[in-house]
Chains A and B, each alone.
Chain A
Amino acid sequence: MAASHAHDASAFTTDHYYVPHQSYWPIIASIGLFTMMLGAANWLNGGGVILFWIGVALILITMFGWFSTVIHESENGMYSAQMDRSFRLGMVWFIFSEVMFFAVFFGALFYARMYSVPWLGGETDHGLLTHGLLWPHYEAAWPTGGPERIGGFFAPMGPWGLPAINTLILLSSGVTITWAHWGLIEGNRAALIKGLAATVALGVLFLSLQGYEYVHAYRDLHLTPQSGIYGSTFYMLTGFHGLHVTIGVIILLVILFRSIAGHFTPQRHFAFEAAAWYWHFVDVVWLGLFVFVYWL
């Protein structure tokens, strides 16, 4: 790892499976995660929040250091084609785990709309008892704050304003990143960099509009996470999605800087592809959100 040397980065320079010998990053990451979780628990229990942010900082430092090491190793030609496949498998299965994570919240949304709300409204003998005994006046509807209108009156978020614009933005960002990929494969650096920059810009635009939408929801619609099951599913789904867009934008920014630094070649650019896969995943989740949270 010490000597950097000239190499032909267009192909894998080794057929050796690189096993790093010792690494400080994982243990620092564990300490960081622990600090963050301990801090969060303390915070939720009404204590201070400093510990939490120290943990977050440690995690960020680790990510920076860990990825720098990996990039450095990759740039020094220490990775083989087989290594590359390990990274690909890792990324694919990581995204699968994320899909399952979002599936839970979609499942909660479908369950509420198809079962719990109709049952509370007295549909089928399954719902009769709760309905009849506790809330005989409740009529099932969607959106709803539930039989006791937890969180007070609110107006739902319509689909055809900001959300539709945001859909267009994310869909176009899917196009721009593909454009960047073509540029990369054809050795057209200008297209690569422009495409990536456009994708990042669209991501940031999306996040800004999403932030604006939240302000609008709180101020004008009185729609908060406390607004019954509608508010709960709305904020859980859009919130976690927004978090993933943020992560995606950061990843894309790193890839943009690496592209400017000339790290990728038409044959070797796993990091770019991983970022693109992640971005498409975030995009597809949004389409689900648009259809099931905003529209139907």
Chain B
Amino acid sequence: MSTASPALDHDHDHEHHGPARGLKRWLLTTNHKDIGTLYLLFSLAMFFVGGAMALVIRAELFQPGMQIVDPHFFNQMTTMHALIMVFGAVMPAFVGLANWLIPMMIGAPDMALPRMNNWSFWILPFAFTLLLSTLFIPGGGPAGGWTLYPPLVLQTGQAFPFVILAIHMMGVSSIMGAINVIATILNMRAPGMTLMKMPLFVWTWLITAFLLIAVMPVLAGAVTMLLTDKYFGTSFFNAAGGGDPVLFQHIFWFFGHPEVYIMILPAFGIISHIIPTFARKPLFGYASMVYATASIAFLSFIVWAHHMFTVGMPLAGILFFMYATMLIAVPTGVKVFNWVATMWRGSMTFETPMLFAIAFVILFTIGGFSGLMLSIAPADFQYHDTYFVVAHFHYVLVPGSVFSLMAAAYYWLPKWTGHMYNETLGKVHFWLSVIGVNILFFPQHFLGLAGMPRRIPDYALQFTQFNMISTVGAFIFGLSQLLFLYIVIQTIRGGAKATDQVWDGAKGLEWTLSSPPPYHTFTTAPEVK
């Protein structure tokens, strides 16, 4: 830095300063750790908002008949719950982790485009203000399902432009976040950190970012056509004008299927960090993990119509999408095999992150298997739009994506805050969650197989028992997340001092930093051997 100009020296001085004080620190920050924290806190807040809506749904479904809410409000709850969990809780949480961890894992001083990073985050609270405000306007929020199928969604009242424009804002935020991740990974790695030496969380995020940039604009295009169909008289999804409502489904799922991988690939990365740490063995099959991730990403672009088997498609199309979907099980299987092989004969200990990681492997695999059942077209004719589908995607998303996020929080929280969390409480949280989630979602498989349709506020009497069990599970799971909130706050405020290494088996550049790391890290790049 000897060649630095006077202007730079001035700038350089600042680096030894800590963060600014007060609200301004958070509003104006360009620091990847601050922005990571903002993302994570925002996502936690949305997790509780979306969770409260889920509890409204489950409370209504406790018994047949209409008990608590009217059907229109019920539909608003299912729609908003999904939109908030997908775009407000799971996706921002992974972006928050990317912000905190990628620069520390690759030895970079910050994200590549720090000002844009701030913008990516601060769009989100505004977007969700727009979305949530629809609950309070005449006619209420969107109620046509998160998949926004026309013509139903075009019956939305005043909420309609709010929803569409909020989705546009979320898209802008995700695309900029993804561009930042790609630029950071491709351009900011410390000397010696070759691509095939990158930690798997970084690899999975690189591929996720590519998926995001490829499909968020597709969603934007789809909702733009909805908007013009409703307000400007276009006929994209109107058969009378030569269009086709099914066209929307194709475009939506061309976005939608890669989207589900956007929500699971970074989770794969997290699990690939945690299992080796607590098995005290290097990850089995690093290279095959990378290739499996890339293959899953590639395949995710050519399977979308497995969501549309019942809509009417040429036979060749059905067969193609059926076999392509089944093919995804192969790279997914490689991953599960590698995790198990990593644990094989490891000297394992079972701290909270590891418990969540092991539960992830088992329960995600159950979700994968039900996915495989759904991919069989003739079987899907029966399962489609039933609770079986609901059970499938909640197994991959809750004990899948969400458990990976919990695991990540417990695993890196000591690094971020400098304090150990309370291990006993963590374990209590884990067991309540894992028991709650299975009581909540396992019976939904049976409900679906028996024919209970999804997104309906009332049901036939024979479904009562499983619904009651499911609702009990929902409240166990939901309320135990308050314990998580308590543990996180407690850890931020104090607790036993964490060492730099935190976990004795942990490997990677982030563990070479102090706990908590200084405000600016790796301003001079470390050497990676």
Contact = CB atoms under 8 A, between A and B. Distances in A.
A101 B224 CA distance: 10
Contact of A89 (B7, B187, B220, B239): B187
Contacts of A27: 27-28, 118, 122
Contact of A225 (B180, B214, B234): B234
A193 B196 CA distance: 45
A230 B234 CA distance: 9
Nearest to B221: A104
Candidate in A76, A108, A235 with the most chain B CB atoms within 10 angstroms: A108
Nearest to B240: A148
B24 interface: yes
B158 interface: yes
Contacts of B112: 86, 89-90
Nearest to B525: A17
B4 A16 contact: yes
Interface stretch (A37-45, A203-211, A215-223, A280-288): A37-45
A89 B182 contact: yes
B228 A96 contact: no
Given A104-B222, A236-B228, A30 B119 contact: yes
Contacts of B5: 5, 7, 13-14, 76-78
B82 interface: no
A112 B187 contact: no
Interface stretch (B146-154, B242-250, B271-279, B387-395): B242-250
B232 A130 contact: no
A37 B232 contact: no
Interface stretch (A113-121, A249-257, A266-274): A113-121
The SS class assigned to the B binding surface is helix
Nearest to B181: A93
A4 B10 CA distance: 12
Contacts of B4: 14, 16
Interface stretch (B89-97, B163-171, B284-292, B404-412): B163-171
A229 B242 contact: yes
Contacts of A93: 178-179, 182-183, 213
A136 interface: no
A24 B28 contact: yes
A29 B117 CA distance: 12
Nearest to A134: B239
A120 B7 contact: no
B235 A232 contact: yes
Contacts of A212: none
B166 to A, nearest CB: 7
B404 to A, nearest CB: 26
Candidate in B12, B233, B234, B241 with the most chain A CB atoms within 10 angstroms: B241
Interface stretch (B123-131, B323-331, B345-353, B366-374): B123-131
B113 A228 contact: no
B225 A112 contact: no
B257 to A, nearest CB: 15
A60 interface: no
A158 to B, nearest CB: 20
B179 A146 contact: no
A18 B14 CA distance: 12
Contacts, number: 255
Given A14-B8, A145-B242, A228 B123 contact: no
Interface in A62-86: 66, 76-78, 82, 85-86
A23 B30 contact: yes
Contact of A30 (B126, B221, B227): B126
Nearest to A235: B234
A144 interface: yes
Contacts of B179: 89-90, 93-94, 97
Contacts of A134: 239
Candidate in A16, A40, A126 with the most chain B CB atoms within 10 angstroms: A16
> What is the interface residue range for chain A against chain B?
35 or more
A137 interface: no
B115 A23 contact: yes
B516 interface: no
Interface string A1-38: 11111010000011111111111111101110110011
A96 B213 contact: yes
Contacts of B126: 30-31, 33-34, 37
Nearest to B126: A34
A242 interface: no
Contact of A37 (B20, B165, B246): B165
Contacts of A3: 6-7, 10
Contacts of B30: 19-23
B496 interface: no
Interface in A121-157: 124, 126, 130, 134, 144-148, 150-151
Contact of B251 (A15, A34, A96, A107): A107
Contacts of A231: 234-235
Contacts of B184: 86
A26 B6 CA distance: 27
B439 interface: no
B498 interface: no
B118 to A, nearest CB: 4
Contact of B161 (A23, A31, A41): A41
Given A13-B3, A116-B242, A37 B114 contact: no
A17 to B, nearest CB: 5
B187 A1 contact: no
Contacts of A18: 8, 11
B168 A37 contact: yes
Contacts of B31: 19
Contacts of B246: 116
B241 A148 contact: yes
Contact of B6 (A5, A40, A101, A124): A5
Candidate in A4, A37, A97, A146 with the most chain B CB atoms within 10 angstroms: A97
B267 to A, nearest CB: 23
Candidate in A17, A117, A226 with the most chain B CB atoms within 10 angstroms: A17
Interface string B97-134: 00000000000111011111011001100110110000
B216 interface: yes
Interface string A93-113: 110111011011101100110
29 contacts: A2-B7, A13-B3, A14-B5, A20-B30, A20-B115, A34-B169, A37-B165, A37-B168, A38-B130, A44-B161, A90-B113, A94-B175, A96-B213, A96-B214, A97-B213, A97-B214, A101-B218, A104-B222, A108-B221, A116-B247, A124-B314, A146-B239, A147-B242, A148-B241, A224-B233, A225-B228, A232-B234, A232-B241, A235-B234
Interface of B: 1, 3-8, 10-12, 14, 20, 24, 27-31, 108-110, 112-116, 118-119, 122-123, 126-127, 129-130, 158, 160-162, 165-166, 168-169, 172, 175, 178-180, 182-184, 186-188, 213-218, 220-222, 224-225, 227-228, 231-236, 238-244, 246-247, 250-251, 312, 314, 520
Interface of A: 1-5, 7, 13-27, 29-31, 33-34, 37-38, 40-41, 44-45, 66, 76-78, 82, 85-87, 89-90, 93-94, 96-98, 100-101, 103-105, 107-108, 111-112, 115-117, 119-120, 124, 126, 130, 134, 144-148, 150-151, 224-226, 228-233, 235-236
Q: A-B pairs with the 8 shortest C-beta distances?
A: A104-B221, A146-B242, A229-B242, A26-B119, A232-B234, A146-B241, A116-B244, A34-B126
Given A37-B130, A37-B166, A90-B112, 4 more contacts: A1-B11, A27-B118, A98-B217, A150-B233
